[in-house]
Amino acid sequence: MMTQIERPLSDEEHSQLKARLANARTESMMAVVKTGGVSAAVCGVLAILTLFASTAPRALVVAFWALGCGSSLRFGSGFHGED
């Protein structure tokens, strides 16, 4: 069996780890923003194509895409701002 040795982080190690965690959080938030932007663009294009191709009332098409994409952008990102 391996013996586990623990020691406190040095000040330099603590600062480096803190900086890496801050960078990871920033990258994670930017990924969510980029993904949301791409999702909105795809939903927008699909909504426009649906408006041209469908015989359904325009209000129904717009409501469908607004509700469908709006809820996926809000709840599908997996990011809720919690630490």
pLDDT tens profile 1-55: 677 888 899 999 999 999 999 999 999 999 988 988 898 899 999 999 999 999 9
- The whole-number pLDDT of residue 83 equals 45
Q: What is the pLDDT of residues 57-83, one digit of tens each?
A: 999 999 999 888 877 666 555 544 544
Amino acid at 50: T
Residue 78 tokens, joined: 């997996």
Instruction: Give yes or no for a contact between 40 and 69, defined as CB atoms under 8 angstroms apart.
Output: yes
- The whole-number pLDDT of residue 45 equals 95
In order of 2, 29, 31, 45, 74, the CA distances from 78 in angstroms are: 37, 11, 11, 24, 9
